[in-house]
Amino acid sequence: MKPAKTLDVRGKFCPMPVMETAKAINQINVGEILEVLATDPAADPDIKAWAKRTGHEVVASEKTPEGYLRILVRRLK
């Protein structure tokens, strides 16, 4: 899956990763993927909860070999 946009929020802490994800999702088209790179461990559950609440889909979430989170969010509306 190739992301349409990458949002780098590494080094930022709650609530910034979710707030910036909410802004960035509107910059891509419906059906496209937003890649979020984060170092805050809370970003994973926070972005998953936000996606569920707002009607988007987290299609993948992984910890990279470099030690940060890579979360892929599909815009559904």
Catalytic center residues: 14
How many other C-beta atoms are found inside a 10 Å radius of the C-beta of residue 77? 7
Q: Torsion over CA of 28, 11, 71 and 15, rounded to 10 degrees?
A: -70
Cα distance between residue 71 and residue 26, in whole Å = 16
